[in-house]
Amino acid sequence: MDISSKNIIDQHHRIHDYLRISLTERCNLRCVYCMPEEGNLLKENSKYMSKAEIIQLANVFVSLGVKKIRLTGGEPLIRKDVAEIIKELSKLPVELAITTNGILIDTYLNTFIESGLRSINVSLDTLKKDKFNTITRRNYFDKVMANIQLLIKNNFHVKINAVIIKGQNDDELIDFIEFTKTQPVHFRFIEFMPFDGNKWNWDKGVSYQDILKLTSEKYGNELKRLEDKKNDTAKSFKIKNYLGTFAVISSVTNPFCDTCNRIRLTADGKIKNCLFSDSETDLLTALRSGENVQQLILDSIWNKKRSRGGMETFDQLSNPLEHGKNRAMVAIGG
């Protein structure tokens, strides 16, 4: 594939200008939908990108038109050189953001402020302390809640991500929305997605339509549909006079593939051109051997499937043989 423009584009005419970089496969939580129960098999350190390699590859992507970079994990803030990485990336002409479980936000608050990083997504699947301990297999609820308030106090743009699973936290949907009554946050409900080791079964799923039905019955005319921005993955709503908003990310039942602009770079330096795809392109090995990394990027995205890594029907998505070769979520970065 040969392309003369600066943009990273696929065969379906989608321009890709949003890069998600996973800084580590490690995490200080063990969330049941993300981390396999037996843990994630880690590689030796030399198999992962160094700080210099992350910056070098980020510069290549920016030269190809990337305008936004989001740092993910595992948990990105447990990486020892994360502050240096954030400061270096902040020098690029991009919008810089991060997704975190919230535990170490207070440690890096000044780094965020000094680097101009103002958009932070916090993963939080319950507002109940005992349930938090069950879902994450760790006891950090009070710390996460305090750090969310710290972000709000310092005027960050805060999104809270909750994976909604039937019988686990679907009974809290209204509580999540009520949280936005007095808190200026954007609460996002994510449909349960299939990944290696998370025992996915759509019987546990809560769909966009399920959530819309529940919220419509509860709030009636007070529920307002907001206008989506270009490339939005979420369908956003607001309750009249509430400070915050909420949204649904319907990756399973109503995917947003037609406007997808995302590229994922794993901690071991591989491109995943789709969250659901089991195919990857090894940039790190190519970078270390002096190959044309730019062309590898262009070719990888050019070959991106139209929808969900080639799983265009719900039956395909529901078949473990279709998605069983994909990584665990903790090793992708979301």
Q: What is the pLDDT of residues 171-192, one digit of tens each?
A: 999 999 999 999 999 999 998 8
Percent of the chain with pLDDT over 70: 84
User: What's residue 273's pLDDT?
Assistant: 87
Give the β-pairing of 245-249 and 235-239: antiparallel
The three-state secondary structure class of 285 is helix
- Per-residue pLDDT of 185-231, as tens digits, reads 999 999 887 655 545 677 788 999 999 999 999 999 999 999 988 88
pLDDT of residue 329: 54
Residue pair 115/83 in contact (Cβ under 8 Å)? The answer is no
For residue 210, what are the contacts with CB-CB under 8 A and spacing of at least 6?
none
Instruction: Please tell me the predicted confidence (pLDDT) of residue 2.
Output: 42
pLDDT of 137 reads: 83
Q: Domain 18-331: give its CATH superfamily.
A: Aldolase class I (3.20.20.70)
* Residue 278 pLDDT level (bands cut at 50, 70, 90): confident
Give pLDDT, residue 179.
98
Pairing of strands 95-100, 223-225: unpaired
Question: Looking at residue 326, what is its pLDDT?
Answer: 53
Contact between residue 300 and residue 19 where contact means Cβ atoms under 8 Å apart: no
Across the range 17-23, mean pLDDT stands at 97
What value does the mean pLDDT take over residues 162-171?
Answer: 93
pTM reported for the whole predicted model: 0.89
Average pLDDT, the chain: 88
Q: Strand, coil or helix: what is 9?
A: strand
Question: In this structure, what token pair is assigned to residue 7?
Answer: 């943009």
Residues 6+ apart with CB under 8 A from 132: 124, 125, 126, 139, 140, 141, 144
Tens of pLDDT, residues 37-94: 666 677 899 999 999 999 999 999 999 999 999 999 989 999 999 999 999 999 999 9
User: Which residue, 83, 73, 36, 88, is CA-closest to 266?
Assistant: 73
Cβ neighbourhood burial of 44 (10 Å; 0-12, 13-18, 19+): exposed
Are 309 and 274 in contact by the 8 Å Cβ rule? The answer is: yes
Task: State the pLDDT at residue 1.
Answer: 41
Cα-based distances in Å from 10 to 14, 150, 232 = 6, 40, 18
Q: Residues 38, 207, 184, 114: is their CA dihedral positive or negative?
A: positive
- Which residue, chain included where needed, has tokens 């109503």? 254
User: Helix axis angle, 105-115 relative to 82-89, nearest 10°?
Assistant: 20
Question: What CA–CA distance (Å, rounded) separates 103 from 121?
Answer: 12
> 255 or 155: which carries more pLDDT confidence?
155
User: Residues 134-153: pLDDT tens digits?
Assistant: 889 889 999 999 999 999 99
In 45-179, beta strands by DSSP E: 68-72, 95-100, 119-123, 157-164
Give Cβ neighbours of residue 27 (< 8 Å, ≥ 6 apart): 34, 35, 73, 74, 75, 78, 101, 330
Residue 8 pLDDT > 60: yes
- Specify whether the CB–CB gap between 169 and 126 falls below 8 A: yes
Nearest to 237 by CA among 226, 251, 248: 226
